Amino acid sequence: MAHSFCKGSRLRDKGVRPARLVAPLLPHFPDALAQLSLEMQSAIEGGVPRPTGAPILRMINDFNEQVHQFYQANAYRLDNIHEIVADEEEKLEFTLQNLACKALDITSDQVDDKILFAVHRAIRRNSFLIENDRSSIFTDHYFVQPRRVAHILDTIITWVHEHQEYLICAVTGNEVPNLKDHPIQQFIQKAQRLIRLSRKVRSPTILASVGPTAQRYQPGQDGKPLVYREVLTEKFSYTDRMIIEYLQLWCIPPRRMTSGILRSAGSHIMRATGMYSALDTNAGTAALFLQELGVVAPWENLRLLDQNLALPGHGVSLQSDKMWEDVQRACEELNSQGITDKMESMRTDFGDLPVYCVDDPGAQEIDDGVSLERIPGSDDTFWIRVHVANPTAFVNPHELIMEYAASRVQTVYTPERTYPMLPNTLTQEHFSLAPGRPTLTFSAKMNLQGDILDTEIANGIVRNVIYITHDKLRSLFEPEPQEVLEPLTVGGEYSSEHTRNNLREKLSSEDEETFHTLRKLMLAFREHRRRNGAMEWPSSLDTPVSVTAGNAPLKPYHMQLTEGRYMLGDPIIQLRPRSVDPHEVPDLTKRNLISTLMNLACYVSGKWLAERNIPAVFDGTFYHPEYPKLTNSNMTDYGGKAWLQLAAPKGISSSSPTHHAPLGLDAYVKSTSPLRRYTDVMAHYQIEAALRFEREHGRRFDATTDESVLPFSRLDVDNFISQSRWKRSRIRDIDSASKQFWACMLLFRAFYFGECRLPETFTCLVHRPYNATALVGSQFAQGYSGVITSLGVRCQIVTPPEMSDVDILSVVEAKITSVDLSRMLVIMEATRMVKRFERVGEWR
């Protein structure tokens, strides 16, 4: 019962457990971390006295009785909820209220808490077929698998049960005349042949992946661009493909098949082959099975096959694939017909003003550039201008192209490929910043004391565009280059990334003076932000991993396979280690000046929108109400045991301004990346509608009276925030998990197959102990979670008993003991304590 209530997503918000009933319980709650007892069955006396907890228990029991009575009256619909709400072929998304309305055939005004909870409880009985988003306890999002998938799962479970009975009969000596014709038996026999064939070219391991092949190919060898070759094997029958689809759904992260019946079916199929006796047969190791069947490549990043995100090109969703094709066609039509600039008459021509676009050398879409305009007669006051690509002036907000962008939320970047929010044919042809291109420009008039004297947003055109790299700009402030470490590479020689031809190699004295002035302004603005609570953090530990398959992109995996295959050759992977002190808080105006300027632009945007009461996606933070706050005055203590005692601010999005504690800003709206982030697109549409209104009416826009002018109402923005929260969370997960996957693949090939030489030890930052995580009590709950600082790779750090001074955010040296691809984790053994937590750096 308690577990069900924890998952009853919206009940907490509606006051099902009033504060006056909860308050008497608080003095009896534990005030320290729970520790795992060696006596698992024992329980310590104490806890909440029964009389104290009686009122809330009575309330829960009364509510439960109401839910039970409602269930009895609606048992047929609730027991068949998936059949009622699901589509035959496509996945659907619902809020809990919409799901209740469709399942029970009622209207929204009839829905109450007991109905919501009864529907939610019915959903819990339909594990995997209907899932609720778990990225936050505040999310209200449910995913419904199609009826076709339900049919496949039911069929596979039936076949597995039949096969188990056949095997029992065979063992007991009873004749099983039709065993050889059973779909599972036929699949197992084919699987055995394919596995033996695979093992002739690749070694299996107990770490959920096959090894690399001895054979290598050079890009362009035999007239073929890729460094690997596909060799087709056997065709899969219709029943084979059903079993394969079940196995795919079983093992694709985030692996939500929690039902024992569903999970055990996959384990039975793997065990029945007789080829995995030394392996735990579970969803984590099923990838090895699919690799040896020739269903997925040994290097396939399964996170990209997320069933709910449904990235296009993989056959996860026919609707998603078709929509992407339709959007590409719409862009081609737009290109052929020509685009119209709705803001043409309102553009400021910035003429010869140098606009600096600072990005990576391989960047294809340039979202933004910065400029500094000196004010005549003043030597300490300047206009800082951030010029941003301007697609919203040309594409209507409710056209297919932008509806697709809204559904995608943002571009997804992974080491092997990019899934753009807007097609490249549109962005590179018209909007990526270049001479003569349109912009929406965010400007702040500032003095060298960091005061913002005025702000301005205007559409413009940039002419004098100068492209440089982050490294080039960084060298201006840090002439001594950071220590360069030898790259780690497996699979052959890694060719350098494509570099744009228009990069400026040398800065003029005027350019250098401009950037030095920009830095002075941002340093002064930092002091204003710090007085408003701004907090500086150590640099994030990114994973600098790259992958190439030769002279052509790595082919995207398609789920609907009809034929097995094995691969000869493997992709080339490179990790570029960095010398990083995980405790260092660097001067960002030296290390990444552009990021501070982008934050300024987002503040200008947020301030401008807030002054006009315009709804947009404002980013801010909140604190947990029950814990001491982490602030810029106590950040030096944020390590060791204190890490558990201070609550860091958590991010939140709202349609109204919210204070952003880490940035020290009272309004913040992301507005500098409209080619890859839809929140920025929404902000641009709102701003341009207000700009047109102000020009037409000669007065400041106020959304409290003129909201109908805006393309998005406050309700529209609130709905987008609510409906996109899970996608933003999932995209972040896929981004980090994809980098972790390719980094682990490199370390796996280097550690076990000697494809490159690894250091004896790595420096690691210690995170939480595993006995304080959900893994407590499992075989994996040893040591600490952590990260290899030079590689940004997550790891498990096992510490010897004599190393008792290790604590949260300590730094240790550790050696690799294994690379577990089923958990996508590097297992390390600590060899030396380096140092405890201590903030260092210029901004410490």
Q: What is the pLDDT of residues 584-617, one digit of tens each?
A: 999 999 999 999 999 999 999 999 999 999 999 9
pLDDT of 7? 41
The dihedral built from the CA positions of residue 242, 145, 652 and 713, taken in this order, carries a sign that is positive
Mean local confidence (pLDDT), 191-196 = 98
Q: Which residues pair with 445 in a beta bridge?
A: 383, 454
Q: Which residues pair with 40 in a beta bridge?
A: none
- Banded pLDDT at 45 (limits 50, 70, 90): low
- Banded pLDDT at 518 (limits 50, 70, 90): very high
pLDDT of 603? 98
Model confidence pLDDT, tens digit, residues 60-95: 999 999 999 999 999 999 999 999 999 999 999 999
> Among 233-242, 620-629, 684-693, 811-820, which is the least confidently predicted range?
620-629
Mean local confidence (pLDDT), 48-64 = 91
Cα→Cα distances 548→227, 294, 572, Å? 9, 21, 5
pLDDT of 33? 66
Judged against a pLDDT cut of 50, whether residue 11 lies above it is answered with: no
Q: Which residues pair with 769 in a beta bridge?
A: 784
pLDDT of 126? 86
Model confidence pLDDT, tens digit, residues 139-188: 888 999 999 999 999 999 999 999 999 888 888 877 777 788 899 999 99
Tell me the DSSP string of 191-248: HHHHHHHHTTTS---SSSS----S----TTGGG--BS-EEEEEEE--HHHHHHHHHHH
Q: Which amino acid is at 759?
A: P
pLDDT of 245? 97
The dihedral built from the CA positions of residue 821, 825, 830 and 834, taken in this order, carries a sign that is positive
Model confidence pLDDT, tens digit, residues 681-737: 999 999 999 999 999 999 999 999 999 999 999 999 999 999 999 999 999 999 999
710 Rama class: left (phi>0) / alpha (psi -120 to 50) / beta:
beta
SS in 3 state form for 560-618?
A: CCCEEEEEECCCEEEECCECCCCCECCCHHHHCHHHHHHHHHHHHHHHHHHHCCCCCCE
Q: What percent of the chain has pLDDT over 90?
A: 80
Token representation of residue 661 = 């504690």
Model confidence pLDDT, tens digit, residues 372-408: 999 999 999 999 999 999 999 999 999 999 999 999 9
Model confidence pLDDT, tens digit, residues 320-362: 999 999 999 999 999 888 899 999 999 999 999 999 999 988 8
List, in order, residues 6 or more apart from 575 with CB less than 8 Å away: 487, 488, 489, 543, 544, 545, 743, 746, 791
Distance CA 383, CA 373 (A): 5
pLDDT of 121? 94
* Contact of 488 with 453, CB cutoff 8 Å: no
* Contact of 465 with 727, CB cutoff 8 Å: no
Burial of 575 (0-12, 13-18, 19+ CB in 10 A): buried
Instruction: Convert 313-349 to b/e letters by CB count within 10 Å (16 or more is b).
Output: bbbbbeebbebbeebbebbeebeeeebeebbeebbee
Helix or strand (DSSP H, E) at 85: helix 81-85
Q: Smallest Cα–Cα separation from 820: which of 357, 453, 282?
A: 282
Gyration radius of the chain over CA positions: 29
Model confidence pLDDT, tens digit, residues 412-432: 999 999 999 999 999 999 999
pLDDT of 9? 41
Model confidence pLDDT, tens digit, residues 266-323: 999 999 999 999 899 999 999 999 999 999 999 999 999 999 999 999 999 999 999 9
Model confidence pLDDT, tens digit, residues 208-222: 999 999 999 999 999
Judged against a pLDDT cut of 90, whether residue 113 lies above it is answered with: yes
Judged against a pLDDT cut of 60, whether residue 5 lies above it is answered with: no
pLDDT of 688? 98
Judged against a pLDDT cut of 70, whether residue 770 lies above it is answered with: yes
Q: What average pLDDT does the structure give for the chain?
A: 92
Judged against a pLDDT cut of 90, whether residue 748 lies above it is answered with: yes
pLDDT of 643? 85
pLDDT of 26? 85
Judged against a pLDDT cut of 60, whether residue 17 lies above it is answered with: no
**How crowded is residue 740: how many other Cβ atoms within 10 Å of its Cβ?**
22
Mean local confidence (pLDDT), 493-500 = 76
